[in-house]
Amino acid sequence: MTPRTKRIVGKSLVVTIIAVVATFGLSFTARLALQMPIDWLSWVECTFIPILIGMPVSAYIFTQSETIQDSCDKLEKSHAALTEAHDRVSFVTSHDPMTGLLSRGGFMARMDRSRDEGECDTLLLIDPDHFSSINDRHGHSKGDEVLVRIAKALVYTTRPGDSVGRLGGEEFGVLLHGVRKEQAGTIAENIRRLIEGLPRVKGQQDGVKVTVSIGGAEIARDADTQDVLRTAGRCLFEAKQRGRNRVSFDYEASKLRIVTP
């Protein structure tokens, strides 16, 4: 006998016994009140009628109850599995598989959300120096190792509420929430120094020294996202032009505002 059957039979027996006792009590009380005789037929009626009626009815009810509960349990498990699958798909579509950072789409969505909320944030664009030569001299596997190291350094130097993403190729983005240009410059410099101080990546012939150039732009509340990216990109290009391994905030995002016709 399965546990499910045992539960149904046990509950049905309890209900049937209660029905028999209740029938005896009501029937005998009524007979005594009406001064009717209590004969053997009364005992048979009070015993078998509740059993013949109560046992099948209660068994049917409890069987349906168990069936409904099983269906609810299956639905709950299916919902949990569907939610888990949805979370996995959402993570995969919004995150870079190699570094675990936000993908470009996920990062841009964070930027749009931040702009809509009206916060004063700052965008940093980080790009490793001489990355193409690292791939050419030491292979793409070493280039991937450099990118993973940079990603870990960015996560380490930013706060839990900040957004860090890989925007494509070797370019990274950091969205510093509630941080203005002056404080963002200090954070960017800390990022640059941390990456510069990382141990060399073992190459085929010699170690690979990793440095990055960083361009930053403060995001005005009415700024267009693409304008902010272009401004930070110009600052990044300026840092490269000035010798690499440095931070540049030469362009102000506040100058790029949406002009209403």
Residues serving a catalytic function are: 170
Characterize 126-159 residue by residue with b for buried, 16 or more Cβ atoms within 10 angstroms of its Cβ, and e for exposed.
Answer: bbbbebeebbeebeeebbebbbebbbbbbeebbe
Cα–Cα nearest to 232, from 160, 165, 151: 165
CB atoms within 10 A of CB 65: 13
Q: Which helix (H) or strand (E) holds 252?
A: none
Characterize 174-189 residue by residue with b for buried, 16 or more Cβ atoms within 10 angstroms of its Cβ, and e for exposed.
Answer: bbbbebebeebbebbe
Q: What is the DSSP letter of 253?
A: G
CB atoms within 10 A of CB 44: 10
Q: Which helix (H) or strand (E) holds 228?
A: helix 225-241
3-state secondary structure of 2: coil
End-to-end CA distance of the chain: 80
- Distance CA(150)–CA(195), nearest Å, equals 7
